[in-house]
Amino acid sequence: MIKLYQFARAFGLPNASPFCMKVECALRMAGLEYQVVDVLIPAKGPKGKLPYIEDGDTRLADSEIILDYLRERHGFDPDRGLSEEQKAISRAFQAMFDERFYWVNIQNRWIDPINWPATRETFFNWVPSLVRRPLAEWVRRGMGKELYYHGLGRHSAEEIYAFGIADLQALAAWLGDKPYFHGETPARIDACLTAYLNNLLRVPVKHFPVRDEALRHPNLVAYAERTMNAWFPEFARAGTGAPGIASPNGAVGG
């Protein structure tokens, strides 16, 4: 059985890390049996990051490397019917979300002073109270440095959020009224977008212009709900206590 090592579930989501949620979504799309193992210290992983998997003697980190492995070892290839042009478009959108939009969300959760208290309490509630704040602030400073060295953190918060808004507008324009990214049938990119859009829309932060932009696009909201119900029905709002789509003021909506 595949073992998926990832952060503990948070915010009523399968995972608050889009990378972890992407891999679990792919495992469910593939119908593969797996076991989730919660990890508190990512440095113990093969590349010092989460998620990673163990499959027999194979141990792999990085969500895209893991998905490549699932294709090669377990035959999970929802892109087999796509044209080369469609595969190229998928790759471009995947890179946009993994390499830039991810960092927009880091700015919102970890750096934005309005949202930081909720992030601190969610991710550090397991730490003894005496050292909780110092440890949380140390990790926050580290995230800020990563954001800065990535390059996005050299901009103002407003400029960072503007990048995220532009990314969402591009996705909404491409998605149109299609149920999935390329049409009627889910593709590999849908595991990625399921993770990012639900992490965007289902976390009731108090301040996030990028989320507010997403709520202005009914097709993005519908896509998030559709994919959550398809692959993570136990995390859908009805009967679980998990948050639904968040409204612009941070309250939970339908």
pLDDT the model gives residue 43: 85
pLDDT the model gives residue 237: 65
Kindly report, residue by residue over 217-249, the tens digit of the pLDDT.
999 999 999 999 999 999 976 333 344 565 444
Q: Among all chains, which residue has been given the structure tokens 């696009």?
A: 217
Q: What is the mean pLDDT of the chain?
A: 92
3-class SS letters over 62-113: CHHHHHHHHHHHHCCCCCCCCCHHHHHHHHHHHHHHHHHHHHHHHHHHHHCC
φ, ψ at 122 (rounded to 5°): -70, -45
Q: DSSP label at 4?
A: E
| 9: pLDDT strictly greater than 70 | yes
Kindly report, residue by residue over 82-127, the tens digit of the pLDDT.
999 999 999 999 999 999 999 999 999 999 999 999 999 999 988 9
| 253: pLDDT strictly greater than 90 | no
User: Average pLDDT for residues 152-166, to the nearest whole number?
Assistant: 98
- Listed in sequence order, the residues at least 6 apart from 84 whose beta carbon sits closer than 8 Å to its beta carbon are none
pLDDT-based confidence at residue 204 (cuts at 50, 70, 90) = confident
Kindly report, residue by residue over 18-60, the tens digit of the pLDDT.
999 999 999 999 999 999 999 988 888 899 999 999 999 999 9
Dihedral sign from CA coordinates of 235, 239, 240, 241: positive
Q: DSSP label at 8?
A: P
Count Cα atoms within 13 angstroms, Cβ side, for 113: 0
Q: DSSP label at 180?
A: B
Domains and CATH numbers, the chain: 2-74 (3.40.30.10), 84-235 (1.20.1050.10)
Q: How far is CA 45 from the centre of its chain?
A: 19
Cβ–Cβ under 8 Å, residues 56 and 47: no
pLDDT the model gives residue 240: 32
| 170 Ramachandran zone, left/alpha/beta (phi>0; psi -120 to 50) | alpha
